Amino acid sequence: MGARGLHRLLDGLWGSTRIEELPLPFAAITSDLATGTTVELTRGSLTEAVRASTAIPGAFVPQLHRGPGGRLRHALADGTLTAPLPVPAERHPEAEALVVVSVMGSGQEPWARPPRLLRHLPGITVATFDIMLRTIETQVLADAPEHVLVSVPPAAGSTLEFHRLERVIEAGRAETARTLDTAGL
Protein backbone atom coordinates (compact mmCIF):
# COMPACT_ATOMS: atom_id res chain seq x y z
CA MET A 1 0.00 0.00 0.00
CA GLY A 2 1.39 3.38 -0.99
CA ALA A 3 0.79 6.84 0.41
CA ARG A 4 -2.45 7.28 -1.56
CA GLY A 5 -3.75 3.91 -0.36
CA LEU A 6 -2.93 4.78 3.24
CA HIS A 7 -4.61 8.17 2.87
CA ARG A 8 -7.76 6.52 1.43
CA LEU A 9 -7.81 3.99 4.28
CA LEU A 10 -7.44 6.69 6.95
CA ASP A 11 -9.98 8.92 5.22
CA GLY A 12 -12.37 5.96 5.17
CA LEU A 13 -11.89 5.54 8.92
CA TRP A 14 -12.31 9.19 9.92
CA GLY A 15 -13.60 11.15 6.92
CA SER A 16 -13.41 14.87 7.59
CA THR A 17 -13.04 14.52 11.38
CA ARG A 18 -10.93 17.25 12.89
CA ILE A 19 -8.67 16.63 15.88
CA GLU A 20 -10.38 19.31 17.93
CA GLU A 21 -13.73 17.46 17.49
CA LEU A 22 -12.47 14.28 19.16
CA PRO A 23 -14.01 13.41 22.54
CA LEU A 24 -10.56 13.04 24.17
CA PRO A 25 -7.44 15.19 23.79
CA PHE A 26 -5.25 13.89 20.96
CA ALA A 27 -1.88 14.85 19.51
CA ALA A 28 -0.24 13.26 16.50
CA ILE A 29 3.52 13.30 17.04
CA THR A 30 5.57 14.08 13.94
CA SER A 31 9.16 14.90 13.12
CA ASP A 32 10.08 17.93 11.01
CA LEU A 33 12.72 16.71 8.57
CA ALA A 34 13.94 20.28 7.95
CA THR A 35 14.69 21.07 11.60
CA GLY A 36 14.96 17.67 13.30
CA THR A 37 12.38 18.75 15.88
CA THR A 38 9.21 17.16 17.20
CA VAL A 39 5.95 18.77 16.05
CA GLU A 40 2.69 17.95 17.86
CA LEU A 41 -0.43 18.24 15.72
CA THR A 42 -3.40 19.04 17.96
CA ARG A 43 -5.67 20.78 15.42
CA GLY A 44 -6.79 20.14 11.88
CA SER A 45 -7.60 17.04 9.86
CA LEU A 46 -7.21 13.80 11.82
CA THR A 47 -6.44 11.94 8.58
CA GLU A 48 -3.70 14.41 7.61
CA ALA A 49 -2.20 14.35 11.13
CA VAL A 50 -2.03 10.56 11.31
CA ARG A 51 -0.73 10.41 7.74
CA ALA A 52 2.06 12.84 8.68
CA SER A 53 2.92 10.96 11.90
CA THR A 54 3.29 7.69 10.00
CA ALA A 55 5.26 8.96 6.97
CA ILE A 56 8.24 6.61 7.28
CA PRO A 57 11.21 8.18 5.47
CA GLY A 58 12.10 6.19 2.38
CA ALA A 59 8.66 4.59 2.25
CA PHE A 60 6.41 7.69 2.20
CA VAL A 61 6.89 11.28 1.12
CA PRO A 62 6.76 13.69 4.07
CA GLN A 63 3.50 15.55 4.69
CA LEU A 64 4.11 19.16 3.68
CA HIS A 65 2.48 21.83 5.85
CA ARG A 66 2.31 25.39 4.63
CA GLY A 67 1.98 28.50 6.71
CA PRO A 68 0.60 31.94 5.88
CA GLY A 69 1.13 32.96 2.27
CA GLY A 70 1.67 29.32 1.23
CA ARG A 71 5.23 29.32 2.53
CA LEU A 72 6.49 25.81 3.36
CA ARG A 73 6.47 25.55 7.14
CA HIS A 74 7.18 21.87 7.89
CA ALA A 75 8.10 18.66 6.07
CA LEU A 76 6.54 16.22 8.55
CA ALA A 77 7.47 12.56 8.83
CA ASP A 78 7.13 9.68 11.27
CA GLY A 79 7.23 10.88 14.86
CA THR A 80 9.48 8.01 15.91
CA LEU A 81 12.45 9.88 14.45
CA THR A 82 12.42 12.43 17.28
CA ALA A 83 10.06 10.84 19.82
CA PRO A 84 9.96 7.03 19.53
CA LEU A 85 7.45 6.76 22.38
CA PRO A 86 6.11 10.24 23.19
CA VAL A 87 5.39 10.07 26.90
CA PRO A 88 5.09 13.31 28.89
CA ALA A 89 7.36 13.75 31.89
CA GLU A 90 4.29 13.99 34.12
CA ARG A 91 0.62 13.27 33.81
CA HIS A 92 -1.77 16.18 33.23
CA PRO A 93 -3.47 17.00 36.57
CA GLU A 94 -6.97 16.55 35.10
CA ALA A 95 -6.16 13.26 33.34
CA GLU A 96 -7.76 10.15 34.76
CA ALA A 97 -4.99 8.03 33.24
CA LEU A 98 -2.00 8.25 30.94
CA VAL A 99 -2.49 5.69 28.18
CA VAL A 100 0.70 4.84 26.29
CA VAL A 101 0.46 2.87 23.03
CA SER A 102 3.38 0.87 21.69
CA VAL A 103 3.25 -0.74 18.27
CA MET A 104 6.64 -2.32 18.93
CA GLY A 105 5.33 -4.91 21.36
CA SER A 106 7.10 -3.33 24.34
CA GLY A 107 6.78 -5.39 27.46
CA GLN A 108 6.29 -8.59 25.46
CA GLU A 109 8.62 -11.39 24.52
CA PRO A 110 11.16 -10.58 21.79
CA TRP A 111 10.02 -11.46 18.31
CA ALA A 112 11.96 -13.41 15.72
CA ARG A 113 12.42 -12.30 12.13
CA PRO A 114 12.23 -14.94 9.40
CA PRO A 115 15.84 -15.39 8.22
CA ARG A 116 14.74 -14.85 4.60
CA LEU A 117 13.89 -11.23 5.45
CA LEU A 118 17.41 -10.62 6.77
CA ARG A 119 19.25 -11.45 3.54
CA HIS A 120 18.60 -8.07 1.91
CA LEU A 121 19.23 -4.48 2.93
CA PRO A 122 15.57 -3.43 3.39
CA GLY A 123 14.88 -6.30 5.81
CA ILE A 124 18.12 -5.72 7.68
CA THR A 125 17.40 -1.98 7.93
CA VAL A 126 13.86 -2.53 9.25
CA ALA A 127 15.05 -5.10 11.79
CA THR A 128 17.81 -2.74 12.94
CA PHE A 129 15.43 0.20 13.43
CA ASP A 130 12.85 -2.01 15.17
CA ILE A 131 15.50 -3.20 17.65
CA MET A 132 16.66 0.38 18.32
CA LEU A 133 13.10 1.65 18.75
CA ARG A 134 12.16 -1.15 21.11
CA THR A 135 15.27 -0.50 23.20
CA ILE A 136 14.44 3.22 23.41
CA GLU A 137 10.81 2.44 24.31
CA THR A 138 11.94 0.23 27.18
CA GLN A 139 14.05 3.10 28.56
CA VAL A 140 11.26 5.68 28.11
CA LEU A 141 8.72 3.44 29.86
CA ALA A 142 11.08 2.93 32.81
CA ASP A 143 11.14 6.71 33.35
CA ALA A 144 7.47 7.37 32.53
CA PRO A 145 4.99 8.52 35.15
CA GLU A 146 2.31 6.03 36.19
CA HIS A 147 0.74 4.84 32.97
CA VAL A 148 -1.37 2.19 31.28
CA LEU A 149 0.54 0.47 28.48
CA VAL A 150 -1.32 -0.74 25.40
CA SER A 151 1.15 -2.95 23.57
CA VAL A 152 0.15 -4.11 20.10
CA PRO A 153 1.57 -7.61 19.56
CA PRO A 154 4.52 -7.64 17.13
CA ALA A 155 2.97 -10.62 15.35
CA ALA A 156 0.22 -8.30 14.02
CA GLY A 157 2.69 -6.90 11.49
CA SER A 158 6.06 -5.23 11.23
CA THR A 159 7.08 -1.75 10.16
CA LEU A 160 6.89 -2.10 6.38
CA GLU A 161 4.11 -4.70 6.13
CA PHE A 162 1.55 -2.19 4.90
CA HIS A 163 -0.61 -4.98 3.48
CA ARG A 164 -1.29 -5.97 7.11
CA LEU A 165 -2.41 -2.51 8.20
CA GLU A 166 -6.02 -3.54 8.82
CA ARG A 167 -4.78 -6.51 10.87
CA VAL A 168 -2.58 -4.19 12.97
CA ILE A 169 -5.48 -1.76 13.48
CA GLU A 170 -7.77 -4.57 14.61
CA ALA A 171 -5.09 -5.99 16.91
CA GLY A 172 -4.61 -2.48 18.35
CA ARG A 173 -8.34 -2.07 18.97
CA ALA A 174 -8.60 -5.47 20.65
CA GLU A 175 -5.51 -4.89 22.79
CA THR A 176 -6.71 -1.40 23.77
CA ALA A 177 -10.12 -2.71 24.83
CA ARG A 178 -8.51 -5.55 26.83
CA THR A 179 -5.94 -3.30 28.49
CA LEU A 180 -8.40 -0.53 29.39
CA ASP A 181 -10.87 -3.10 30.75
CA THR A 182 -8.14 -4.69 32.88
CA ALA A 183 -7.16 -1.23 34.16
CA GLY A 184 -10.79 -0.44 34.98
CA LEU A 185 -10.99 2.46 32.56
Residue 144: is its pLDDT beyond 60?
yes
Domain locations in the chain as residue ranges: 1-83, 84-185
Distance separating alpha carbons of residues 168 and 161, to the nearest angstrom:
10
Q: Is the pTM of this model over 0.85?
A: no
67-125 pLDDT per residue, tens: 677 777 889 998 888 888 877 767 777 777 888 888 776 656 566 666 777 788 877 87
Read off the pLDDT band of 184 (50, 70, 90): confident
Q: pLDDT averaged over the chain?
A: 80
Amino acid letter at 6?
L
Are 47 and 55 a contacting pair, CB within 8 Å? no
DSSP 103: S
Nearby residues of 13 by Cβ (< 8 Å), 6 or more positions away? 47
